[in-house]
């Protein structure tokens, strides 16, 4: 008949029952099993040791779980402070690309390097877009707005 010791509780219950039973058994002063002789103390020692260690490991696991949770909360607070307060302050004080940021353990933001061909393609695209949409420069827009403002507005009659 196979025994199931899949949980600590079931193994602890079995150990407790064996300790009680072997202690009460008068003929258990020495037992011969598989050709070896064991005293009662030799039989009970590992069972008692296991039962003594259970509350210690349970408390250690609880303490570990609490410590991990506290560490996670502290990490969240630290990241929030770094990303929300310290980093923006240092970026605004020193500049995002300043090499002095490395003194504080932060990497400067790398400025993307735009090639000449990319700039030329962008200028050509902007010119094509300006022609297609009929957009104007700032001075031309200002003059067009003045001209519009000088024209009298004629009210549109309401349809009935």
pLDDT in tens, 63-93: 999 999 999 999 999 999 999 999 999 999 9
Pairwise pLDDT comparison (19 vs 26), residue with the higher score: 19
- CA dist 4 and 11 (Å) reads 8
pTM for the full predicted model: 0.52
- CA dist 91 and 109 (Å) reads 9
**pLDDT given at position 158:** 59
Ranges of each domain in the chain: 8-94
- CA dist 109 and 149 (Å) reads 46
- CA dist 40 and 34 (Å) reads 16
Around Cβ 101, how many Cβ atoms within 10 Å?
A: 19
Please state whether 69 falls in left (phi above 0), alpha (psi between -120 and 50) or beta: alpha
């Amino acid at each position: 008949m196979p025994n199931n010791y899949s949980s600590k509780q079931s193994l602890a219950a079995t150990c407790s029952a064996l300790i009680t039973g072997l202690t009460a058994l008068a003929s258990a002063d020495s037992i011969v099993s598989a050709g070896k002789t064991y005293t009662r103390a030799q039989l009970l020692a590992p069972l008692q040791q296991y039962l003594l260690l259970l509350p210690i490991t349970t408390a250690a696991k609880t303490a570990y779980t609490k410590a991990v949770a506290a560490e996670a909360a502290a990490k969240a607070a630290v990241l929030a402070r770094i990303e929300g307060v310290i980093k923006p302050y240092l970026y605004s004080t020193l500049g995002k690309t300043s090499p002095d940021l490395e003194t504080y353990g932060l990497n400067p933001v790398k400025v993307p390097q735009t090639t000449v061909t990319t700039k030329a393609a962008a200028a050509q695209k902007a010119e094509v877009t300006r022609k297609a949409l009929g957009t104007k420069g700032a001075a031309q827009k200002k003059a067009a707005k003045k001209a519009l403002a000088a024209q009298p507005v004629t009210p549109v009659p309401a349809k009935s």
